[in-house]
Structure 1
């Protein structure tokens, strides 16, 4: 481990090769590649913790509520279609006569709202599962609008008999066990009816709730409705534009929305204290009609939907995974820096010393991960970087015996970790910042080696 001057004259051919710059370069390059092994092991630890985190988040979502999709409301009206059939019959004497027959067909009409308004207040919540924090939400939802009763079969023929006592309104919700609170359906000027479990439409709306039309006033020109409920969920919240015209207004205090779905919002306002988003969607954007007969036609009300995800720009584990990706670069640049010290300052490091410095650099990511799971990421990064830089600096003091040279290494490592922190905080410009950092480092190294002699 003793330093030795690079000016010592080799005593033999093997000694000459061992002290040559080319051999030294290959040896240090091989050591740098060998350091990828502990770096890979650190990456595996990060991957395992990421898996445990995602498992914990999925477990929280299973009990609190999954991603919610709201569909409806849908008005379902059974009716009896009365048809008079006129047939011509010929008797045994050859005389013909016209015979009328009454035919009654039981049918069920599905009707979508003429106008639908979806108002949602999405309130962020945090739930702990062990050391992991899960971002979830509670949403206060109101569905309002009106149905167009002029589309009912009774309007086209007075002989059609509407069976209102068996009619119902259904609303689809993807995860019904997470419904927190409901209020009665408000109908017309003041009548209301309680909500009941299930949609009674297993193929159209597999899960949700419904309200009976039995006690509601159906002699209305404008059949207005209002449905309010509270639902828990995680990750995202979406709606299906079932109205002939659908307007949706979302409000939340979460500052990082990611608008998803088939149709983007027409207006958004995203600020540090939350976001507001508005959708205006006409019925021509979808592929199903305003009314159809149940059992005769099949339509997918979930085919077209829009909404938002509560997006975390750079999560804890994503930051650490990105940091590990720069590990090979860190080890390579650090080894290269020490190697330049060798050839410029005529000081030689032992291969074991290179290996121990590489291990210290690899340990940074384990320290960062273990601390970041307990405290804020910026503090964890500060402690992990300080510990790593301090250990390497103290180690090089005992090797170089020069305060000035050690200060150069201290400033280099500190600057490297500071730049890595800035890159990790970026999202859209991380690659640009990384490329710029690499170019600056190369320029500095080129400046430091500009006076190297060819026979060194």
Structure 2
């Protein structure tokens, strides 16, 4: 009977573990649902104000038409027309930007936003690329050259100025280019296309989470600084140098036309790109406008204002360790049960496991209102206090309850370390499991496991079977 009772208890504990796995899955689904609501809040702020910003330009373009005569098979004459745009990319482009935080809130959710002051200097050796070429030996006609600056969301533009030398140019809305419908343009005064050109563009704009620059020049230099201390550098090029501290960051990029396809993409009329955020920090790609073929410019120099202590990302990481820590808690209870020679009912194991799983729900709910570290301390303190109180009754004495609470506190401390050590989490987790196994083996090295089945280690197997 004792042997059957032991096996039944193990089977019941297996069922309890499966039940707790289901509870953890439900909490994990809740984390995903809350994270989805955060993304919906971000999309709502972007729709109401301004979304992520990517800058393209300045570039110089002309809208041209070519007309030629055609003769149909029946001898009827007609005129055909081709509309096209020619572009001149800068030989040198220098971008200097300062971005300051202007966070927004929608309900419980904080949205990282910024106000940017950007200065761009662009130089052309000549504008001969604006000379149109006839494809059908027809008549060519072109508008005056214009300076074009495209942005992802023109609602974020506040103040924009364009100067050629000391002379300001009249800035007008729109780019007059269907590939980049959002932005601005300014008509250039007449000048020979063989002469060089230098332009200065200054703009104040607002955006959300992401900021990027398309390196559409033969040589591009970008310097950005912000008071955000946790940048996630995205795009296709990392900064050549960066400085990050508690006050913010400063980063510099240098890109040559030999390393980027941006010039060809712009000339081909591909759409403005989005920005790929770091998935390990809870990021996801920001939207690209896309052209009729779904193509967009491939290269950007960008960063994202990602919060490394995102409550939903951290809660998701904690839940991934949840089953392991529940099992370790069960091992601790079983070990104390053996050493104290006091039987623990499977229902008590279930209640202990539920207390452990509710910790993750407390962590999620508190972290939406408080800092993650404080939320973790409060949730862990509540769980440790409850398990210590219950452990004293479960194991028979207050001293054993305190010992059990201490073991649980060590587990929660180890989990907090794992959550904050991204690169070393695997080695710390493996070391923790090895230490737990070593402790269990050490504490149980003198236990006669055969005695739990009603016989001794020296008793032969067939004699023990007959004794049942």
Q: Taking structure 2 as the reference length, what is the TM-score of the superposition? A: 0.79
Which residue is 2:228 aligned to?
Answer: 254
User: Larger RCO: Structure 1 or Structure 2 (Cα < 8 Å, ≥ 6 residues apart)?
Assistant: 1
Which residue is 2:285 aligned to?
Answer: none
- 1:338-373 Cα offsets, whole Å, 9 max, x none, are 112222221001222121111111111111111111
Which residue is 1:195 aligned to?
Answer: 171
Q: Number of paired residues? A: 406
- 1:97-116 Cα offsets, whole Å, 9 max, x none, are xxxxxxxx998642111221
Q: Give the alignment of 1:70-149 within 5 angstroms.
A: 70-77=55-62, 109-149=86-126
Contact 1:396 1:406 in 2 (8 A): yes
CA distance in 2, matches of 1:174, 1:447: 63
RMSD (Å) for aligned C-alpha atoms: 3.0
- 1:29-85 Cα offsets, whole Å, 9 max, x none, are 33222322322222222222222122112222332322211111111246899xxxx
Structure 1: gaps (5+ residues): 1-14, 82-104, 155-161
State the secondary structure of the residue aligned to 2:102. Answer: strand
Structure 2: gaps (5+ residues): 67-81, 132-139, 272-296, 453-468
Q: Could you tell me which of 23, 26, 31 is aligned with 1:46?
A: 31
Q: Could you tell me which of 176, 185, 191 is aligned with 1:210?
A: 185
State the secondary structure of the residue aligned to 1:149. Answer: coil
CA distance in 1, matches of 2:27, 2:160: 52
Which residue is 2:13 aligned to?
Answer: 28
Which residue is 1:174 aligned to?
Answer: 152
Q: Give the alignment of 1:366-381 within 5 angstroms.
A: 366-381=361-376
How far did 1:218 drift? 6.6
CA distance in 1, matches of 2:170, 2:380: 60
Matched, 1:455 2:436: no
Contact 2:149 2:184 in 1 (8 A): yes
- 1:403-423 Cα offsets, whole Å, 9 max, x none, are 321221011011111111111
CA distance in 2, matches of 1:217, 1:192: 16
Judging changes above 3 Å, is the alpha-carbon distance between structure 1 residues 153 and 332 closer, same or farther for their aligned structure 2 residues? closer
Contact 2:90 2:122 in 1 (8 A): yes
How far did 1:429 drift? 2.0
- 1:179-204 Cα offsets, whole Å, 9 max, x none, are 1x22331112x21123111001113x
Q: Could you tell me which of 386, 401, 411 is aligned with 1:391?
A: 386
- 1:113-132 Cα offsets, whole Å, 9 max, x none, are 12211111122221111011
Which residue is 2:405 aligned to?
Answer: 410
Contact 1:178 1:231 in 2 (8 A): yes
CA distance in 2, matches of 1:153, 1:382: 64
Q: Give the alignment of 1:272-351 within 5 angstroms.
A: 272-287=246-261, 298-300=268-270, 302-351=297-346
Judging changes above 3 Å, is the alpha-carbon distance between structure 1 residues 397 and 71 closer, same or farther for their aligned structure 2 residues? same
Q: Taking structure 1 as the reference length, what is the TM-score of the superposition? A: 0.81
Q: Could you tell me which of 417, 422, 428 is aligned with 1:427?
A: 422
